[in-house]
Structure 1
Amino acid sequence: MKTEKLIKEKRRKRLKRKLRVRKNVYGTPERPRMTVFKSNRHLYVQVIDDSKGHTLVAASTLEKDLSSLRKCVADAEKLGEVIGKRALEKGIKTIAFDRNGYPYHGIVKAIADGARKAGLEF
């Protein structure tokens, strides 16, 4: 009973942070938004054009090519490099980074660093 309340409170606080970040971060066709989502097992990254409401590029650890990646910092950086390469192939060079309410350290920071290493500008 007590842990359920703690989990709900933790989720509520993250959603509150997410809304606060999303007030200021908006994806345009020239500078789309790159967002990160972490589940208990997998990592998901999308590059989104908010003006049209379309996902331009996506990568996750669910894909066959990336299924060997786990939810750790080293593999998160590789996922960031993959999303960066895919975005560059689509002609996207600059993005707005949306941490989606998560603190900017660990896995989220590693994804951002991997995307920078691939050539994306934030």
Structure 2
Amino acid sequence: MIKKEDRRKLRLMRHKRIRKKIFGTPERPRLSVFRSEKHIYAQIIDDTKGITLAAASTTEKALREKLQKTWNIEAAKEVGKLIAERALAKGIKEVVFDRGGFKYHGRVKALADAAREAGLKF
């Protein structure tokens, strides 16, 4: 059985390996996803300037009031829709998806699919 600390180290190693290949530009910024046990976070980042252009998470009061639980697939879908709306409002239509070392499965996949359905291309 892999200990929690070891799983975290393995995820961080995967994240570093992925980040070597993925880079957000002003034309096509990076959609970064972080998943904790109780929440999910998404940011759209321009890596050339080091600026976060848009962000959404289940920690926001408006989303917490709307959702029953902040750690399930439905919550991830809501965050995906919200990040896509905020990106489109700023004129961002295409992004590079950064899964942050997490498997493209479950909540991460739900967030990505919801963002695509809401109009983001990646």
User: TM-score if structure 1 supplies the norm length?
Assistant: 0.93
* Aligned-pair Cα RMSD in Å: 1.3
Which residue in the other structure is 2:116 paired with? 116
Which residue in the other structure is 2:54 paired with? 57
Which residue in the other structure is 1:76 paired with? 76
Cα contact 2:58–2:75 (8 A) shared by 1: no
In structure 2, distance between residues paired with 1:77 and 1:103: 16
Is there any run of 5+ residues in structure 1 with no aligned partner, and where? Answer: none
In structure 2, distance between residues paired with 1:114 and 1:79: 8
Which residue in the other structure is 1:40 paired with? 37
How big is each residue's C-alpha offset from its partner over 1:47-81, in whole Å with a ceiling of 9 and x where there is no partner?
00000000000001111111143111122111101
In structure 1, distance between residues paired with 2:3 and 2:15: 18
User: TM-score if structure 2 supplies the norm length?
Assistant: 0.93
Which residue in the other structure is 1:95 paired with? 95
The answer as to 2:20 corresponding to 1:28 is: no
Total equivalences in the alignment: 119
SS across alignment from 1:62: coil
SS across alignment from 1:83: helix
In structure 2, distance between residues paired with 1:93 and 1:71: 27
> Shift of residue 41 of structure 1?
1.2
Q: Which runs of 4+ in 1 moved over 3 A?
A: none
SS across alignment from 1:46: strand
Which residue in the other structure is 2:64 paired with? 67
In structure 1, distance between residues paired with 2:11 and 2:3: 12
> Shift of residue 10 of structure 1?
0.5
